[in-house]
Structure formats: C-alpha cells, structure tokens
Structure 1
Amino acid sequence: MLITIYHYRIKDSGKANRVLSKMSRSVNMVWNFCKQTQQEALKNKSVKLIEDKKSGEKASIPYFLTKFEMNNLVSGSSKELELHSQTVQFVSEEYITRRKQFKTLLRWRGKKSLGWVPFKSSAIKIHNGKISYNKNEFSFWNSRELPEDAKIKTGSFCQDKSGHWYLNVAFESQQIGIKREDHKKIGIDIGIKTLATCSNGEKIERPNLRKNALAKMRYLKRCQKFAQRKQSKSKKYHSLPKAKQERKLHVKVANIRQDYLHKESTKIVKKCSLIVVGDVPCKFMNRNKKLSGISLDSGIGMFKNMLKYKAVRAASIYKEISERDSTRTCSKCSEILPRIGLGVRTWTCEKCNTIHDRDVNASINILNAYKNMFPIGHDRPTRTKKN
C-alpha cells in the first residue's frame, strides 16, 4: 500500500477565502496556546520525574508536555474556534511532534504566516468536486479523481505565497503506480551546465527559469524599495501591488520548475529498472555563492527525491553512490587523469586514446561502479585458473 498526496486548487474567490482565512487564524490561536502553555510549564516546573515500570528506576527529564496532556488542555474549544474537534487535536499533536523533531521551543504563528488548516479523515467528506468540512462546503478543481480503493488518512487546507488556497489529501491505495515501458539500466550524473547527464548519452537541460525571470524580479524589487521609502507605515509594505506581483512571480516560477522536473523524472522511471545517481552534496552546493543560484534554480534536490519515490511506485531500483573521481576516470581502461577544472568539458585518455565527454563519462562510471560493486577507478580483479 502506497501513501500518496493529491494537490487540488480550491475555488477561493469570495466567501470561501474569508472562511478559510478565519479558520487559519483559529489554528494559529491553538498553536500559540500550545507554545505558551509549554513555556509556562518550563518556567513553573523545569523538571519532572519518570519511572521505568520494569526496572523501577527513576529519572528526571525536562518538563515537556505529552500529546495526551496537551489534548486535554485544548479539548472543548472547537465550537468557540469554529473548527472541527479533530483539527484542534491534530494541531496540538503536530506541535508536540515538531518539538521532538526539531527544537524544544518552536516559533509563534503570526498574522503574516501562510494559512494552514489540518484535518483527519473523519472530519471531511469529498463528493463531486466538493469537500464538506465543519458544516462548510468548498468547491475545488478536480484535476484527477481519487482511486476507488483510496483510504484517506489526513489532509489540510494550505495557502501559498500568492494567497491561493489548496486542498492536500493524503490517502493509501494499491492502484497508484507507474507502468514501466522498458527495463534499461542507467547511470545519472547531476551537473551544473546540464541538470542531468545519462549513461546512454542523453542530456537533460536545466529549466533556466532564473535567467528568464531575474530581470523582472529585480525590477519589482526596486519598485518595492522605492515604494517602501514613500510609505509612512512599514506595516503596509506587504500589501503593496508590486510586492504582490513579486510573490506571484515566485510562485509561477516554482510551479514551472516543479512541472518540468515531474515530466523529466517520469520519463526516466518509465524506461529504467535500475537508476544509479551520484551523491551530489546539495547542501554544500546551496551554501556556495557561485553555485547556489544554479543549484536552487535547477531543483537538484527535488529532482533526486522525485526519482526516488517514483522508482518505488514503478518497482524499480534507485541507488545513490559516491561519484568521487568519476569525471577524470576513463570508463574503458580505468586510467585516472590528473585533476581538471570545470571549464574542461572533453578530454582524451593518455592510455587508450579515447575521447570522453566529461559528464557522459562520469555517468558511465557511476553505473559501472554499482554493477561491479567497486569504487570508481578501481580495476576489477580477474580470476586465475589453478594448475
């Protein structure tokens, strides 16, 4: 059983937008109440004792509230907040979960935070392109139908930077899968000049959205700074028309990038039963001043994640291996070339005189390294016959 999330755009003009915004403010109140309660609990009683039932040993830990304790504190407030009781419970549980995962005290949810209204499966009903929640009915564009055997787990109403509302539905189904058209084996080298280079010689170009939209973004940024100096109150800055245009432009660019990566990753998964990718350190690339713009614009991390979960749906194998020395190692004779700069795109092997394309050679080495289970540049030992 695979858990999948479908994303629908809500028809949020008029009353629907006002109702969802009001509910999101109520969710913020519950979240902030949980944070304030946790802060006061630590101030009043910083340590609590717990006892192990088997050994009988006692230990002192910081006084952090559990999900059960937090649910008891927020129960009974759903009617006044005009939320479903499952939503109030979900928010309190989510606060405890996020506190355990990230840090002891989380941030406040302010007025300018994006809208978020979570719910559980028992709180909604979906029928004919409409969703019923807490005596409210919202219409959405039903871009794709839920499978017949879909079991809804959780979901949420969420708001993007441009102010539009979306419906996210997480469900479990056996009918969700990708049908493979071929059983090829492929190695992929994630690059800077191109998004990815495959071992069969195919190259996937970068979306290059940053170059096309950068001039307009800079113009809107200059207009914002000029308008901000003219405004007497800085609170009105986020309601300026140029600021709204910039936010919409960012959302548009992100949607185009996501659509492009979805199409390219699906093409690869449909053709291949084995996908081997070099372990490109995306975090270090994003920190580099020269490479961060290219890395974030291409969506390298997003592309790798798409390949990973789509390979599971297609019953394919996805592996990441070290790509060290993959560029300067000959894929035919395993001769290692001295270090070369990024400007050198082709090179000739001194041992076998083979002309290599830098990225194609790297992708072939990545695939061979997984097949042979030896590091790149390591000669595979040959078996000797006993006399």
Structure 2
Amino acid sequence: MRKTYLYQTKINKTTEANCNQWLEICRTLYNLALEQRISIYKQHGKSISLYQQMSQLPELKQSFPEFKTVGSQCLQDVLQRLDKAFKGFYQRLKERHSKAGFPRFKSKNRYDSFTLKQSGWRLEGRCLYIKNVGRFKLFLSRPIEGDIKTVTIRRTSTGKWFIAFSCDNVPVKKLSDTPAEIGIDVGIKSFCLDSEANQIQNPKHLEKSLKLLRRRQRSLSRKKKGSRRRNKARILVAKAHEKVVNQRKDFLHKVANLYIKAYNTIYVEDLNIKGMIRNRYLSRSIADSSWGMFFNLLSYKAAEAGRTVVKVTPNGTSQICSGCGEKVPKSLSVRVHQCPFCKLVLDRDHNASLNILRLGQSLPALSTERVFA
C-alpha cells in the first residue's frame, strides 16, 4: 500500500532562500505553461499536450539559464500539476458542475510546494540533502517505511516548512482480529453517536477561536496593502487558522484510532457534504465538524490495519424506528425519537446509528463503491 509521511523540518536562511527561489521558478513555469495552453487553444482550437510541453523544457533551459538550477523531474512535476488541473476542469465540465473552475494563474502566495522523484535528493539519518538547495533537519516523529517514491517540500502560510515522503510497499500493520461491528452517526451538537450509545462531544474549535480571529482580521483589514505591518498581521491571522486546523486534525485522528482499534467493520453514512454546506445556517458548523476528513481518516487507517469501513445510504436513517422499522417523521429540531408504534424512546442520533448498523449488515455484497478498505 502507499502511504505519506509528513515531517516538520528546520532549515537555515540559505536553504530557505534557495527553496523560495525554486518555488518562484516553478510558479513561473506553471504560469508560462498555462499561458501557452490558452494561446494555442485560441489560435488553433485545441490545446498542447503534457508530453509536448515536457519536450520543450530543454529549449527553455537554454533560453533561460535560471531553470537549470531546478531539477528536471521537479520541472516535469510542475507541468504534470497543470495537466492534472486541466483534466479536473474537463471532468467537472463533463459532469455539468455549475462552477467548473478553469485553471488559474498562480500568484506569489499561491504556489507553496515542489516535488522531487528518484533523483536530486539524499536521505541520511535525520537529514535530507537536496541538490542546489541545501540541508533539511527532520523531526522524525515516526520511522519511514517502504520505498520512497516522491519527496515534496511545502511552505505553509505561517512560514513553516514541511517535507512529505510518499512511499510504496508499506507493510500492513494488522490489528488483532475482532468480530465487533458498529454504526456511526455524525452530527453537529455531538460529533458522533454510535450504535452502542457511545457519544463523543463536538469540540467546536473554530467557534471557540472566532473572537480571536475576528479581532486579528479587523486589524489586518486596516493595514496598508504591501506594508510590513500588513504582512505581520496576515501571519497572525494565518497562525490562528493554523491552530484551529491542527486542533481539528488531532481530534479527528484520536476518534478514528479509537474506532479502528476496537471494531472490525465500521458503518458510516454516505453523506452529500458539499450539498449540506449550502445551508447558510449550518454551513460553518458542518465545515468545522469536518465529517469528510473524518471519513477519509477512517478509510486509510482501516486499510492499514486490515479493517473495513462501509458506506450506507443515509436516506431515512433518522426517520425510521430502529425497533419496529416504521417511519416516524420528525423535524431536525426534535432530538428525541419517540415511536408511537412500539413505544421506543431514545436519542435521535442513537436511533440513526442503529439503523446505519442494520443497513450495513443487510448489504448482500460489499462493492468497491461502498467499501473504503
């Protein structure tokens, strides 16, 4: 299986300057390649391909010597990113999305990573050496396993540097076998409530940080564009957002690990989260809960541990009685399920999680569209 290891790194000023120079060269190449595709399409009615643009890299290096300082595979990866952006655009057009999102030119603060493949780098213990860039001291929180295929250097909006190793043939770490199965219903008031009535409260990290964010964003809006004070205020806003993101990821990782260690099969709802976020009253709370990220964490952790995560259709899971199967309509504001047929009374989310478990167990076969592991 493929796995990505992410580490924070410490670099000196020379290495940081070289990294920023590489990012600027990669950004320039991205914009030039995008402009070339647009101009050729306007002239001839069809665009240039990825491999045609790659074949022009040697000529580009002869005309502009600064491109010679960047590894050839790194420059090829820039063109591959652009090609991937166009493929996504055409796919969204095919699916008739309202906003297909044409690939955009990258400004100075919108290109923050470059990728190396088989050559141009060397890993020795806790240090990574990159040709024409410098040395990176890694904070190895866990050992790197498998065969390293790509190395990505990324700069955050707060000025921190991270290195991501994408590895193949990572050994699967299977946990002890257990027949236990569980259904999970996610929510806003409580993050989730499972079929065994275990409830995990929603920490609402963004809501707790809104006061600080508002104050810092008001300060940023008053600063003159292009000034040093505005840049300092921008970094303070970015740090506040970064803290919320880190708190949220830490919480989601812990919850996902809790379920992966205890249960062999986990049933979750196949939610249309993009559609749910359009609700202007609940959009911020839904985004802060990050159900999509939670499901993705469950999926890759299940694959690594030999567990199974199954999606089930969410239609009616809150309205159907888990005791007798009769439909009991209720609005979102009603938080207690009271069945007039079998007299069952329990929490609305608990009732939904029992229905999710029942639906998952009733599936005749686990298709690849429903299974994450």
TM-score, normalising length: structure 2: 0.88
1:51 paired residue number: none
Amino acid corresponding to residue 318 of structure 1 in structure 2: V
For residue 174 of structure 1, report the CA deviation from its aligned partner.
Answer: 3.5
- Give the distance between the partners of 2:273 and 2:229, measured in 1 at CA: 31
Structure 2 residue 335 is matched with structure 1 residue 345: yes
| 1:158 correspondence with 2:154 | yes
CA distance in 2, matches of 1:120, 1:329: 52
Whether contact under 8 Å (1:30, 1:74) holds in the other structure is no
> Match of 2:233, as an amino acid?
K
* 2:118 is the counterpart of 1:121: yes
Q: Distance in 2 between matches of 1:42 and 1:351?
A: 65
User: Are 1:153 and 1:170, in contact at CA under 8 Å, matched by a contact in 2?
Assistant: yes
Identify if the C-alpha distance between structure 1 residues 68 and 134 changes in structure 2 by more than 3 Å, giving closer, same or farther.
Answer: same
1:80 counterpart (63, 66, 74) = 66
RMSD over aligned CA atoms reads 2.0
Tell me the equivalent position of 2:232: 241
Task: Describe the superposition over 1:51-82 as per-residue Cα deviations: whole angstroms up to 9, x where unpaired.
Answer: xxxxxxxxxxx2x2222211111136296222
SS at match of 2:10: coil
1:52 alignment counterpart: none
Note if contact 2:3-2:170 (Cα within 8 Å) is conserved in structure 1: no
Question: 138, 141, 164: which one pairs with 1:140?
Answer: 138
How many angstroms apart in 2 are the aligned matches of 1:15 and 1:132?
13
Out of 99, 106, 109, the position equivalent to 2:86 is: 99
Q: 1:171 to 1:79 in 2, by over 3 A?
A: farther
Contact 1:34 1:92 in 2 (8 A): yes
Is the CA contact (8 Å cut-off) linking 1:181 and 1:270 kept in structure 2? no
Distance across 2 between alignment mates of 1:90 and 1:287: 35
Structure 1 unpaired stretches of 5+ = 47-61, 375-387
**CA, structure 1 residues 219+13, in 2 after alignment: closer, same or farther (shift >3 Å)?**
farther
| Equivalent residue in structure 2 for 1:298, among 289, 294, 301 | 289
Q: Is the 8 A contact 2:114 2:152 kept in 1?
A: yes
Give the number of aligned pairs. Answer: 349
Per-residue displacement from partner, 1:13-59 (whole Å, max 9, x unpaired)? Answer: 5222212111100111111121122123223322xxxxxxxxxxxxx
Aligned match of 2:178: 182
Identity %: 25
2:302, 2:212 → 1: CA distance?
Answer: 37
8 Å Cα contact 2:184/2:195 also seen in 1: yes
Alpha-carbon separation, structure 2, partners of 1:284 and 1:359: 20
Determine the C-alpha separation between the residues in 2 that align with 1:238 and 1:67.
42
Report the CA distance shift for 1:275/1:79 in structure 2 as closer, same or farther (over 3 A). farther
CA 1:236–1:340 in 2, change beyond 3 Å: closer, same or farther? same
Question: 2:199 is matched with which residue: 197, 203, 228?
Answer: 203
What corresponds to 1:192 in structure 2? Answer: 188
Residue 56 of structure 1 is matched in structure 2 by: none
Work out whether residues 238 and 244 of structure 1, in 8 Å CA contact, stay in contact via their aligned partners in 2.
no
Aligned with residue 219 of structure 1, among 215, 218, 225:
215
Q: How far did 1:314 drift?
A: 1.9
- Give the C-alpha shift of residue 373 in structure 1: 3.7
* Structure index of larger Rg: 1
Q: Which amino acid aligns with 1:277?
A: V
**Separation in structure 1 between the aligned mates of residue 229 and residue 115 of structure 2, nearest angstrom:** 26
Deviation at 1:293, TM superposition (A): 0.9
Seen in structure 2, the aligned counterparts of structure 1 residues 105 and 211 have a Cα distance that, compared at 3 Å, is closer
Residue 71 of structure 1 corresponds to 54
CA–CA distance in 2 between the matches of 1:146 and 1:219? 41
What is the CA distance between 1:238 and its match in structure 2?
A: 8.0
Instruction: Describe the SS at the equivalent of 2:190.
Output: coil
